[in-house]
Amino acid sequence: MNTFVAPTVEWAALTPILIVLGAAVLGVLLEAFVPRPARRAVQLVLSLLATAAALVAVVWRWTVVEAEGPREIVGGALIEDGPTLASQAILALVGFLGLLVIADRTESGEGAFVAMAASRPGSPEEADSTRAAWVQTEVFPLTMFALTGMLAFPAAGDLLTLFVALEVLSLPLYVLAGMARRRRLLSQEASLKYFLLGAFASAFVIFGIALLYGYSGSVRLADLAQAVPATVGLDWLLLGGSVLVIVGLLFKVGAVPFHAWTPDVYTGAPTPVTGFMAAATKVAAFGALLRFVYVVVPDLGWDLAPFMWAVIILTMLVGTVLGIIQTDVKRMLAYSSIAHAGFVLIGVISLRSQGISSVLFYLLAYGLATVGAFALVTLVRERDTEGNVTGEATHLSQWAGLGRRSPAAAVAMVVFLLSFAGIPLTGGFIGKFAVFSAGVDGGAWVLVLLAVLASAATAFFYVRLVVLMFFTEPDGETTAVVASEGLTTVAVGVAVVGTVLLGVLPGPVLDLAAQAAVFLP
């Protein structure tokens, strides 16, 4: 008779996840018991403290793993090793900056979120809640729940935990995407598209898990890795299941042809949520993809190569070509993110230790620039004929002459655009150089050559925005850079400093990434 053996839970190793999860649960209770006027301040302080504490906890756990080595926790459901902690550190940092932008309000007291998300667009209820100046504070626990799933995603040691973490990070984002204060129908359309295509991603993952369980008789990644060279005659189950799980993860990173949701969701979602989602989801998904590729299927490199090469080439091509023709800043950044996903995938398939460290560095540089760029988009607003500041000015033509109106904002945006383009002295250049070097070492020099050409082409739409901001006369006074409470300014400042430091002094971070580049077998 089989008896259930309860796993030993190392609570200390779960500290970063538990801190964020605890803040999310407490945030739900605060929504019920804290008076409305004080709710926003309490939720903001709780969320920022929890995210900062999670980052401190990750640093502490790093010292423990350095001294004692990596370990399985919760019976192997989660893994604490270098790549896990590096991914969690990036997520905590990006989450902290993202929360600053999410919480900020303009000088008129207007936030990015609708006063009452349950109200029908254009209804009397919406008008009443807006006049009453209600603040949608549910965004804070929703963001913390999403961050909880993201922290667990790259740490997943079995496929069921991977799936649960995927759902925990995705469901709050579906809701957040539909809560924009302006253009609500577009926002709700984005939410629905994200939900439907996210459901497809989940379906691919769960079907792949079923096939891999049929192949190995286990959902643990370590057992799967042992079964790959030992099991004979069921290769179709292994290959099919692996492809399906990878496809589900490629949905989350926005790789072609699984990218259809990206431009519409980036455009329709509240811009602070777009920045958080664009940066943090990619970090979490690539962390999980690295673990699956390097631990479970490294021996299938030749079998998966045609599929992965096709995805990478299509991703770089579509992200570059369609990015060039965009006239909306948010859609341009969306296609930029697609192209960057193709670049990062080169490091993933290199199957070298250098590939792991280069991907981690790239994700840090990309995450900082992305949060900063979308934070600036929230401050550039339209001005109507009466001089009143209204919604975000996302059309490229509205950014003309921004360098004269607000030199600081324009210069910060230039730093982020140069990092996206991979120009030297920015974190993006070091990230691309490291990823492309890993690709060459892994034998994918053809992909690297195509990536260099695509990177040069993407520079066009970044430079185009720079030219508009500094070398083009504005068409009247139709655009303004609004003042805010200062939280967005702090986030942009940290992102600028981080982007420059990663380009000028990358050595310490590269060394830490190299130390982290060992998965627990």
Q: What is the pLDDT of residues 36-55, one digit of tens each?
A: 888 889 999 999 999 999 99
**pLDDT category, 32, cuts 50, 70, 90?**
confident
Q: Which residues contact 508 (CB under 8 A, 6 or more apart)?
A: none
Last residue within a domain, chosen from 296, 319, 339: 296
Least confident range from 194-203, 213-222, 388-397: namely 388-397
Do both 211 and 78 map to the same domain?
Answer: yes
Do both 260 and 324 map to the same domain?
Answer: no
| Structure tokens that stand for 22 in this block | 């605890």
Q: What is the pLDDT of residue 482?
A: 81
Query: Is residue 87 within 8 Å of 360, Cβ to Cβ?
Result: yes
Last residue within a domain, chosen from 243, 268, 296: 296
Collapsed DSSP state (helix, strand, coil) of residue 484:
strand
Is 521 inside any structural domain? Answer: no
Q: Could you give the CA distance from residue 14 to residue 376 in angstroms, rounded to a whole number?
A: 34
Do both 258 and 179 map to the same domain?
Answer: yes
Is 214 inside any structural domain? Answer: yes
| Structure tokens that stand for 161 in this block | 């935990």
Q: What is the pLDDT of residue 428?
A: 92
The single-letter DSSP state of residue 102 is H
Whether residue 173 has pLDDT greater than 60: yes
Do both 349 and 460 map to the same domain?
Answer: yes
125: amino acid identity, one letter: E
**Distinct helix (H) and strand (E) counts, the chain:** 20, 5
Query: Is residue 422 within 8 Å of 455, Cβ to Cβ?
Result: yes
The more confident residue out of 234 and 482 is: 482
Is 484 inside any structural domain? Answer: yes
What secondary structure does DSSP assign to 7-48, as a single string? PPP-GGGGHHHHHHHHHHHHHHHHHHHS-HHHHHHHHHHHHH
Instruction: Please state at what angle helix 445-471 crosses helix 301-324, rounded to 10 degrees.
Output: 20
Collapsed DSSP state (helix, strand, coil) of residue 180:
strand
**pLDDT category, 2, cuts 50, 70, 90?**
low
Q: Could you give the CA distance from residue 283 to residue 87 in angstroms, rounded to a whole number?
A: 7
Is 2 inside any structural domain? Answer: no
Do both 384 and 502 map to the same domain?
Answer: yes
Instruction: Give me the residues paired with residue 106 across strands.
Output: 484
Query: Is residue 220 within 8 Å of 73, Cβ to Cβ?
Result: no
Query: Most distant CA pair in the chain: distance in Å?
Result: 81
Q: What is the pLDDT of residue 217?
A: 85
Q: What is the pLDDT of residue 242?
A: 92
Query: Is residue 87 within 8 Å of 516, Cβ to Cβ?
Result: no
pLDDT tens per residue, range 129-162: 767 667 788 899 999 999 999 999 999 989 999 9
Mean pLDDT of the chain: 89
Helix (H) or strand (E) holding 176: helix 159-176
Q: What is the dihedral of CA 382, 326, 484, 496, to 10 degrees?
A: -150
Collapsed DSSP state (helix, strand, coil) of residue 142:
helix
Q: Could you give the CA distance from residue 465 to residue 463 in angstroms, rounded to a whole number?
A: 5
Is 474 inside any structural domain? Answer: yes
Whether residue 3 has pLDDT greater than 80: no
Q: Output the 3-class SS for 30-41.
A: HHHHCCHHHHHH
**pLDDT category, 443, cuts 50, 70, 90?**
confident
Closest CA to 419 of 354, 333, 482: 333
Q: Could you give the CA distance from residue 163 to residue 201 in angstroms, rounded to a whole number?
A: 10
Q: Tell me the residue range of the domain where 83 lies.
A: 9-296
Per-residue pLDDT, averaged over 414-424, amounts to: 93
pLDDT tens per residue, range 455-471: 999 888 899 999 998 88
Collapsed DSSP state (helix, strand, coil) of residue 6:
coil
What secondary structure does DSSP assign to 305-369, as a single string? HHHHHHHHHHHHHHHHHHHHT--BHHHHHHHHHHHHHHHHHHHHTT-SHHHHHHHHHHHHHHHHH
Q: What is the pLDDT of residue 405?
A: 83
Q: What is the pLDDT of residue 122?
A: 72
Per-residue pLDDT, averaged over 223-244, amounts to: 82
Q: Could you give the CA distance from residue 137 to residue 481 in angstroms, rounded to a whole number?
A: 25
Is 206 inside any structural domain? Answer: yes
Q: Which residue has the tokens 């519409």?
A: 264
Query: Is residue 6 within 8 Å of 133, Cβ to Cβ?
Result: no
Instruction: Please state at what angle helix 184-216 crosses helix 235-253, rounded to 10 degrees.
Output: 160
Do both 164 and 221 map to the same domain?
Answer: yes
pLDDT tens per residue, range 290-321: 999 999 888 887 888 899 999 999 999 999 99
| Structure tokens that stand for 260 in this block | 């259809």
**pLDDT category, 387, cuts 50, 70, 90?**
low
Within 10 angstroms of residue 431's Cβ, the number of other Cβ atoms is 30
Do both 476 and 388 map to the same domain?
Answer: yes
Do both 275 and 364 map to the same domain?
Answer: no
Count: domains in the chain: 2
Whether residue 435 has pLDDT greater than 80: yes
**pLDDT category, 106, cuts 50, 70, 90?**
confident
Within a 13 Å sphere around the CA of 408, how many CA atoms are in the beta-carbon half? 8
Whether residue 521 has pLDDT greater than 70: no
362: amino acid identity, one letter: Y
| Structure tokens that stand for 182 in this block | 């302006």
Do both 436 and 510 map to the same domain?
Answer: yes
**pLDDT category, 449, cuts 50, 70, 90?**
very high
Whether residue 56 has pLDDT greater than 60: yes
| Structure tokens that stand for 438 in this block | 């890993």
Q: Could you give the CA distance from residue 344 to residue 394 in angstroms, rounded to a whole number?
A: 27
pLDDT tens per residue, range 73-102: 888 889 998 899 999 999 999 999 999 999
Do both 174 and 54 map to the same domain?
Answer: yes
Q: What is the pLDDT of residue 10?
A: 82
Q: What is the pLDDT of residue 404?
A: 85
Last residue within a domain, chosen from 296, 318, 352: 296
Query: Is residue 416 within 8 Å of 373, Cβ to Cβ?
Result: yes
